[in-house]
């Protein structure tokens, strides 16, 4: 053939092949593995959300060439789940404020005679243990004209002591007044989470603990503070880890938590032999003995001889 005729037939073959390809519905998107995929869908067109393990997940679009594998169950968020976090605040409040109505505790302030000065707010911030001072300092950075700012020099002076010098008689009234403001309530929430709740939950998960274990860590963090000494939370945890393997290292969860509670109770009694330990003995220990590692409701417990129930 002449060169021109040859080129003509080659071109005709290419055009015919292209026409057949364009007539095929699957031509739109090529699958990387060689199969054909449907046209991509927008996020709004994705399959509906489905709930797995209490957490909503978006089902991904599937390929025609390779059916999607069943989605793995979402991991439980434990104590950080909104309902469990609410429950945690109620249980802590039963010990800190003798009520389940923890939202009413923002304005609480009292010297309970434990050598830590004024105890105030949601989780018992104390003038003698630095956390109340930090709360007011951070709040003042965001709201310089607040009613507690003028007490900062006195709070710095009494930090680490049980003294009220420079705080009486006006500081308790100023605290209660400020607690009526949304900004100060939010500041207490934020400081509770930053110093106590979030670190406790993170470390409990690191140790392989479920929801009850996360709460036990949280309550210990609130009462003992995040210190590394013998009576601080981190010191108590280190002793428990030396004594018993946590679930993350193959240990039994119930045995590990029992050891942690034993160590914690002993630390409380070493500070004061007459100290009430019912927040451990007839609350957390009760949940543990019942095998309620998920901190499931209904719950019933006692603190300071008073019975509390959550349906």
Which residues have a catalytic role annotated?
96, 114
Tokens of 88: 């945690």
Could you tell me which of 232, 270, 229, 236 has the C-alpha nearest to residue 256?
Answer: 236
Residue 129 C-beta-side C-alpha neighbours within 13 Å: 22
End-to-end CA distance of the chain: 93
Helix, strand, coil % (nearest 5) of the chain? Answer: 50, 10, 40
Phi, psi for 7 (deg, rounded to 5) = -60, -35
Strands 109-110 and 29-30: unpaired
Residue 49 parent element (H or E): strand 49-52
Residue 253 parent element (H or E): helix 253-271
Tokens of 66: 């390779």
Residue 93 parent element (H or E): helix 82-96
* DSSP alpha helix (H) spans, 159-210: 171-178, 182-192, 198-206
Whole-angstrom distance, CA of residue 278 vs CA of residue 284 = 9
The gap from C-alpha 61 to its chain's centroid, in whole angstroms, comes to 32
Dihedral of CA 145/148/154/157: which sign?
negative
């Amino acid at each position: 053939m002449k060169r021109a005729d040859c080129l003509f037939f080659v071109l005709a073959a290419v055009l015919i092949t292209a026409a057949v390809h364009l007539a095929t519905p699957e031509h739109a998107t090529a699958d990387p593995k060689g199969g054909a995929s449907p046209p991509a869908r927008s996020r709004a067109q994705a399959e509906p959300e489905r709930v797995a393990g209490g957490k909503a997940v978006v089902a991904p679009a599937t390929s025609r060439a390779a059916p999607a594998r069943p989605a793995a169950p979402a991991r439980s968020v434990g104590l950080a789940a909104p309902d469990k976090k609410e429950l945690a605040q109620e249980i802590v409040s039963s010990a800190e404020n003798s009520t389940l109505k923890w939202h009413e505790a923002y304005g609480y302030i009292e010297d309970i005679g434990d050598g830590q000065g004024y105890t105030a707010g949601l989780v018992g911030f104390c003038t003698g243990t630095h956390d109340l001072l930090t709360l007011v300092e951070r709040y003042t950075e965001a709201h310089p004209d607040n009613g507690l700012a003028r007490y900062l020099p006195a709070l710095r002076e009494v930090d680490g002591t049980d003294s009220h010098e420079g705080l009486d008689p006006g500081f308790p009234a100023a605290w209660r007044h400020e607690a009526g403001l949304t900004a100060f309530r939010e500041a207490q929430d934020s400081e509770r989470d930053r110093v106590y709740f979030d670190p406790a939950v993170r470390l409990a998960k690191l140790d392989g603990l479920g929801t009850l274990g996360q709460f036990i860590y949280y309550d210990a963090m609130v009462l003992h503070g995040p210190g590394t000494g013998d009576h601080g939370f981190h010191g108590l945890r280190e002793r428990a880890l030396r004594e018993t393997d946590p679930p993350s290292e193959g240990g039994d969860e119930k045995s590990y938590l029992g050891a942690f509670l034993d160590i914690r109770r002993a630390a409380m009694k070493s500070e004061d032999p007459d100290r009430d330990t019912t927040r451990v003995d007839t609350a957390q220990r009760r949940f543990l003995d019942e095998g309620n590692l998920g901190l499931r409701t209904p719950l019933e417990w006692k603190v300071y001889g008073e019975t509390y129930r959550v349906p």
